[in-house]
Amino acid sequence: MSGDHFARALVGRVASFMAGALALVAVSNLGACHTPREGTDKPSEGTAGPNDGQGPASGVPYSRPGVAHTSNIDMVAISSDGAAALSRDQIGGTRLWPALDGSREPLPIPVQGPQQFSVQPRGDGFTVAVVDSAGGAKIFDVDEQGEVAELGALAPFQPLFGIYVLPGGERALALFRDHSIRLVDRTAQELFRFEESRFRPTSLRLGADGKRFVALTRGNGNEFEVQSMRVVEDDGGEGPRLRLHGAARPATPSQVATETTAVLSPDATRFVVVDRPTNNEWELAVIDLAEKVEAKKVTVRVPAHVVPNLGFVSNDHLLVSTAEGSLSWLVDLDDGSNHPRASAPQDFVTQGRAQAVGAGIQAAAHGSWLYVHDVDDRSHRYLGYRDFQTQSVGISPKGQWVAWAYMSGPIFVEGLGDNEGERFEINSEPGVGTLKVRFLDEEHLVSISNMGGILLHRWRDGTHVDAAGIQGGIRALHFEPSLGVMLIERHNNDARLFEVSTEGFAGPYIVADQAFRSGLLAEGTKRHPEAIMWTLDSANKLRHYGLEELRGDPSQTDVMAKGDAILPGKVAPLAIDRDGRHYGVRWNGSTMELFVDADGEVKTKVAASGDISGIVPSPSGKAFLAIHQRGQSTSLSAHDSTSLEERWSFSTGVFHNELVWSPDDRFVAVAASTGAVVLDAETGKPVHRRCGIEFVALGAAPATAFNGLNLKSMCEQ
Amino acid sequence: MPRAHLTVTALSCLIATSAWGIAEARSKSIVQQREVEVFQEFDGRFMGGQVDPGPFTLADSPVGEGQAPASNAVPASLHGSTIAVYRSGAVVIDPDSGMLVRTDAQGNKVTELAVGPGAAQLVVDDANERLFVTDRTGDRIVVVSLAKGELTQVDAFSTKAEPFGLALSPDGRTLLVTTVADRTLTAFNVGTGMPEWNLELGPEPRGVAISPQGHEAMVTFLTTGAVARVDLSTSTPRMSFMTLDPGTRTASPQVGLHNSFGNGSGGTPSALDPMSDEGKSFARNAFGVAYVGHNIAVVPHQLSTPHLASGDFESEASGYGGGNGFTSPINHRLAFFATPEAGDSGSVRTAMAATNLHQPRALAYDGNSDTLYVAGFGSDNVLAVADVSQASVHASWQHKVADTHGACGPDGLAVDPSNGQVLVYCSLTRRVVRLAGDPATNAAPVLVSHSGELADSRLSAEAQRGRELFRRGNAQEISTFGAMACASCHAETRADGLSWRLQGSNLQTPLLGGRIAGAHPFKWDGKDPDIRSSLTNTVQRLGGFGINVTQADELAAFLESVEPPRAPSVEDPMAVARGKELFESDVTGCASCHYGPLFTDQQQYDLDTNLSDVDTPSLVGLATSAPYYHDGSARTLEALLRGNASIHGMGQIATLTDPQIDDLVQYLETL
């Protein structure tokens, strides 16, 4: 990653939003991503450069791929300079958004289900602190490369309410459930402990200077007190200390004070709390922490049935927003005037808690996306991935490239091995996503759209070499680049075979034999050496077809007359490999067995519990993958085709859409509902992952923002 | 102003208030009728998202890898148990009698050695023909020679107070020991018997296990929702924590005007309140941990939801946890933590599995077949989890271990490496059951042998029956659908550190051990005059069909037999003396209510709480009974003495100085 790029996101609001402007330029051109356009003539630079005005907003190269939220965001925190945010989703996934201008993808933070968190920039990186689900705290360093390292922890033996990283990122205030406040360094070492009789803080609010803060102490019901405090540097050599500052100020709001209904000004001189509804407005209580005067009441034009959210934009201006999509208001606390502003999106998911305001930037949840609103310049954007549910995956014959396709957008080609970091984008038809993708060679790939449109691409320059089509209802795709054939299974059981070359398509040859399962054969079988494909119909009749036979346009009578019946007692195969071996599962008493039948020589292996829903032999026939369904979980196991011994297994979560081998047997790729992964076929170890495709900054979030699956991303496992 | 006194703990979860008794009884009968209908309709399984999980249901993707790990990769001595296999026979430590017993392959007693009541765990050092036992009351590790078919004590190491968990490093040189009262993890040099290092832990540590590569250890706790992971790869062990607690609240119904568009993830105001536990679940009762293959540690535990998300629908008739009676406040799980191999970096991958084992506790791993065996202490069943280190992890057979001798109460498992047979130690009958099963199938295992009674119980027959009833799970006479056992909140008759929602109040789970005989009346409001009526009322509140007088007597006999928890070691006797003086002085006035052997005047006072009166609780075992006050609002004794809890005006604590508070805390922890 370029350090310059990364620093850009950290130098503060102004630079951040200059970059944001660039991002929005990119965003404004994103429509072009769905319009055929010329690709770059410099393949090594890809099409994702930040300044080419054509690529996605995620212009910064990826040293560590971002990971989408796979569930709706339900908690948000923002740094005091408004440059970065943290988010938690409903299944506990946690992300750091290193830039709020769309220039950086969100990074996973390795903590599940934090109760509270905070973030502050530190140099070129960040300090992130979380209260974990057990009540302990962890402090992480996120460096300029996006690498995350745990620096220290506070044991959950004494649980915390919260931990608040102070601006500067060097220290944090840890508020324990015994109501002590401890100042800790980045390694969680205690620097000072503050305890006071009859002082029961349950949450803190920080000022922007890292020295002033307030503690909220609970009284009866919704009553609480606001106590100003200071981090005092002790020149006497005893280190920093915490001190009370002034008298506590009472508040008696009509509902429980939360992070979004009770807020502190950046200079820590004003505290505002949502007080109570009056007629069709809300009263805010503005407590002057510098002067012991009665709280000032300010009204805001928010309907009484909606509890507003607050956030200081500056020391005298407050953003008051709601969770139901009506207007936000910028409230001048000096004269009480209300000024309309754009609103955070309607949020029925979190009821408005998932928002935060820092340095005039509002960050709020919108499904699995983040809404970012610059209150000062009145701009806003939605950050997120267009999708994370990968529909199809292909690996190039030499294993140098992987292509991802998804339902609603373009195809991405990313480098493997020596090409790691290179990325190309291929447009799909506007409004029609891609269902299948395969490489013909290192330069060409074939895509099939959701509507059945088939394109042969020269993917480096985006050229469409040829087009074909098929009616929809596609069930599966089999591709054999070494033979230049492609077999498309359809749900109505009339498969289509195409010949494919770098020049284009020939065919289709329609095989209307009512087969519910079929496959390609690279080298025929012993009994059918000329066969290029096989089919299996519902009467358990197995048919083989040669390419010349299909080119000769056989009559339906001839087709239905041919074939070999699978004898009673034999189990129909789930797959047949290039050597003609049959793969399947059968019951032996109460035990499920995998079997491989090589011309009558049958080998079996007891399968683990659950169902085996599919088998995918490798192109060479030396190995195969079995797909296991156990309860809600899907996993793959790779086996040697001769011994049936298991090589490895890999859990893919709940649903996977496609499972393919690379033509050279080196890789296995999985396209799944929570992302995609390329595995080393020998070890099963991931070599490349992508759990979020097409990270963008948009003026309006797409419907996919709410495509949460409530399943942990494959990239979090 | 009420009389000055220091209210700390009383009885809630098991022995709770009866102030609502009559009203509760009327409304409960209606609820129970509905429960029975649902129970019958759904075969006794909880509904509403809490359907019986079956023996083993993974909630996450498996963390295991593909290939089966190398056979015998994990020696049994990497974690302690009450039973171990040695030369085809078994060695057993019976915590009840304190007897160490050696049996032959058929389960016949060969010889025995008295270690001491409460002895907790043992590990066998095969290479040196010896074993180590934790003597919980004697504060020592007893080293016993197994040579010549005997049990001969050859050495003993002194430990911190109340040793419990044991683990022997793969090289056999280091013994890790947890202590309950002193809350430590200590590494002993086995050769010298001297401690090499010591780590401070939190409350209620129990099990410990060392990874097969020896580069890390795990420690479990009864009342902390996390597992401590100790890095052993450097000379200075470093501790980090892996959470067992789920991170998200279960949502409340969204009701009320403001809540329609209010602020908060749960919808109800309490979900936003940092002081509220509504909808939060807490992992409890993690007694043990075991490594399986691929550096995966498995931790059985319980998930308690003391304040079920019920929103404004909570009523007087609500069941335990404030729920509707159809959502279980107690569930049981197995946690899988896949940690990096020695020398590798990376994050820990976690998966949780629900299980129908009640109070899963004992563990044993068979590396030959990659099978983990887990036993339900409260349900008397053993589960075989096959391919446990692999992505193909799944439940194999499950078998009930109970016979004419009575319920088992399995608290120890071991695998005979020579034939894969599973040995179960039944703590209630003090017998060993040997099972032969095939983890490749679901077929029930064959009972190979059943030993005779290996030791005599210290308890009366009546108390033994009470002990069995106390831990009994799936018992509808005890609780709704049998989801909760007495031991669910009071493992080892201690406290779970939670405050349970009961009829609109949050009531802290009290410690029972040592606080029964002579401590009446019971419950936080002191409305139950004796232990038997209190037990009867508690079972009614738990939603059980009810216990009879005999059962109440048995439970009472058991509870009255339990010793109080051990106090931590005194580090500064002078401070304790000063604290005692303060406690008994007019300066604080503590002793005006907390006096006598149990530190209670057995009276009730109006303390301006949501209870009409609050009973003066016994202070016995105070160090282990946090949080404090009837509502658990004081997390620590320090917070209590600083007035940082919900009760004010008791004693003269407002004038206490920091040193005085320190002295008082040190004294109170000795009670």
Test A324 with B261 for CB contact under 8 angstroms.
Answer: yes
The kind and range of the H/E element at B40 are helix B21-41
The nearest CA of chain B is from the CA of A381 a distance in Å of 23
User: Has this prediction a pTM greater than 0.80?
Assistant: yes
Tokens linked to A323: 């969770």
Test B635 with A178 for CB contact under 8 angstroms.
Answer: yes
Q: At A184, phi and psi to the nearest 5?
A: -125, 155
Test A653 with B201 for CB contact under 8 angstroms.
Answer: no
Test B241 with A638 for CB contact under 8 angstroms.
Answer: no
d(CA B123, CA B285): 21
Tokens linked to A98: 């290193």
B261: nearest CB among A196, A351, A651: A351
The kind and range of the H/E element at B291 are strand B290-291
The kind and range of the H/E element at B99 are strand B99-103
> What residue of A is the nearest CA neighbor of B258?
A305
pLDDT > 90 in chain B, percent: 59
Of A36-45, A68-77, B212-221, which range is least confident?
A: A36-45
Query: Given this model, what pLDDT does residue A46 score?
Result: 24
Test B243 with A177 for CB contact under 8 angstroms.
Answer: no
Residues 6+ apart with CB under 8 A from B23: B316
Residue pair A443/A429 in contact by the 8 Å Cβ criterion: no
Average pLDDT rounded to a whole number, residues A231-254: 89
Residues 6+ apart with CB under 8 A from B133: B93, B100, B115, B119, B121, B122, B141, B142, B144, B166
pLDDT > 90 in chain A, percent: 49
* pLDDT tens profile B609-642: 777 788 889 999 999 999 998 888 888 998 888 8
Whether the CB of B173 is below 8 Å from some CB of chain A: the reply is no
* pLDDT tens profile A255-309: 888 888 999 999 999 999 999 998 889 999 999 998 888 889 999 988 888 888 8
Strand-strand pairing, B83-86 and B410-415: unpaired
* pLDDT tens profile B50-98: 456 788 888 777 888 777 787 667 889 999 999 999 998 999 999 999 9
* pLDDT tens profile B189-203: 999 999 999 999 999
Q: At A38, phi and psi to the nearest 5?
A: -75, 145
Residues 6+ apart with CB under 8 A from B230: B185, B199, B216, B217, B218, B219, B237, B238, B239
- Cβ neighbour number for residue A419 with a 10 Å cutoff: 17
Residue pair B580/B664 in contact by the 8 Å Cβ criterion: no
d(CA A486, CA A483): 9
Residues 628-657 of B with CB under 8 A from A: 634-636, 638-639, 642-645, 648, 653-654, 656
Test B64 with A649 for CB contact under 8 angstroms.
Answer: yes
The rounded mean pLDDT for chain A is 84
Cis omega (within 30 of 0) for bond into A508: yes
Test A351 with B283 for CB contact under 8 angstroms.
Answer: no
Whether the CB of A324 is below 8 Å from some CB of chain B: the reply is yes
Average pLDDT rounded to a whole number, residues A385-406: 89
Higher-confidence position of A601 and A715: A601
- Asked whether residue B259 carries a pLDDT value surpassing 60, the answer given is no
Q: Which residues of A touch B272 (CB under 8 A)?
A: 256, 258, 353
Q: Is B348 helix (H, G, I), strand (E, B) or coil?
A: coil
Give start and end residues of each alpha helix (H) in B374-485: 461-471
B654: nearest CB among A74, A197, A322: A197
B319 — pLDDT class (breaks 50, 70, 90): low
* pLDDT tens profile B437-491: 999 888 899 999 899 999 999 999 999 999 999 999 999 999 888 899 999 999 9
Whether the CB of A258 is below 8 Å from some CB of chain B: the reply is yes
- Asked whether residue B334 carries a pLDDT value surpassing 60, the answer given is yes
Tokens linked to A78: 């923002």
* pLDDT tens profile A97-116: 999 998 889 999 989 889 99
Q: Which residues of B touch A258 (CB under 8 A)?
A: 263-264, 272
Cα–Cα nearest to A574, from A517, A631, A621 = A517
Query: Given this model, what pLDDT does residue A83 score?
Result: 93
Test A161 with B274 for CB contact under 8 angstroms.
Answer: yes
Average pLDDT rounded to a whole number, residues B233-250: 84
Residues 318-357 of B with CB under 8 A from A: 347-350
Tokens linked to A339: 């000024």
- Give the residues across from A640 on adjacent strands: A623
The nearest CA of chain A is from the CA of B190 a distance in Å of 29
Test B61 with A635 for CB contact under 8 angstroms.
Answer: yes
Test B347 with A110 for CB contact under 8 angstroms.
Answer: yes
DSSP A114-159: -SEEEEEEETTEEEEEEE-TTS-EEEEEE-TT--EEEEEEE-TTS-
* pLDDT tens profile A514-550: 999 999 988 888 889 999 999 999 888 999 999 999 9
pLDDT > 70 in chain B, percent: 85
d(CA B129, CA B148): 9
Residue pair A359/A13 in contact by the 8 Å Cβ criterion: yes
Q: At A346, phi and psi to the nearest 5?
A: -60, 130
Residue pair B257/A305 in contact by the 8 Å Cβ criterion: yes
- Cβ neighbour number for residue B136 with a 10 Å cutoff: 25
* pLDDT tens profile B153-187: 999 999 999 999 999 999 999 999 999 999 999 99
Please list, residue by residue across B454-480, b when 16 or more beta carbons sit within 10 angstroms of its beta carbon and e when fewer do. bbebebeebbbbbbbbbbbbbbbebbb
Residue pair B420/B368 in contact by the 8 Å Cβ criterion: yes
Whether the CB of B227 is below 8 Å from some CB of chain A: the reply is no
Whether the CB of A152 is below 8 Å from some CB of chain B: the reply is no
B349: nearest CB among A153, A307, A717: A717
Placement of tokens 């950050």 in the chain = A383
d(CA A217, CA A202): 6
Beta strands in B136-225, from DSSP E residues, in sequence order:
140-145, 152-158, 163-168, 174-179, 184-189, 194-200, 205-210, 216-221
Tell me, what amino acid is at A481? P
Tokens linked to B613: 């009166």
The separation between the first and the last C-alpha atoms of chain B, rounded to the nearest angstrom, is 28
Placement of tokens 């939360």 in the chain = A258
Of A88-102, A649-663, B580-594, which range is least confident?
A: A649-663
Test A591 with B350 for CB contact under 8 angstroms.
Answer: no
Whether the CB of A220 is below 8 Å from some CB of chain B: the reply is no
- Cβ neighbour number for residue B88 with a 10 Å cutoff: 14
The nearest CA of chain B is from the CA of A700 a distance in Å of 22
Higher-confidence position of A324 and B595: B595
Test A258 with B272 for CB contact under 8 angstroms.
Answer: yes
A256: nearest CB among B224, B272, B347: B272
Q: Which residues of B touch A202 (CB under 8 A)?
A: 274-275
Query: Given this model, what pLDDT does residue B416 score?
Result: 95
B639: nearest CB among A159, A179, A350: A179
Test A306 with B654 for CB contact under 8 angstroms.
Answer: no
Sign of CA dihedral A239, A245, A250, A251: negative
Tokens linked to B315: 């009523």
* pLDDT tens profile A416-438: 988 888 888 888 777 778 899 99
DSSP tag of B563: P
Q: ipTM, 2 decimals?
A: 0.85
d(CA B209, CA B185): 11
Sign of CA dihedral A614, A616, A622, A628: negative
d(CA A681, CA A685): 8
- Asked whether residue A407 carries a pLDDT value surpassing 80, the answer given is no
Higher-confidence position of B5 and B107: B107
The nearest CA of chain B is from the CA of A351 a distance in Å of 5
d(CA B392, CA A630): 8
Q: Is A369 helix (H, G, I), strand (E, B) or coil?
A: strand
Test A112 with B642 for CB contact under 8 angstroms.
Answer: no
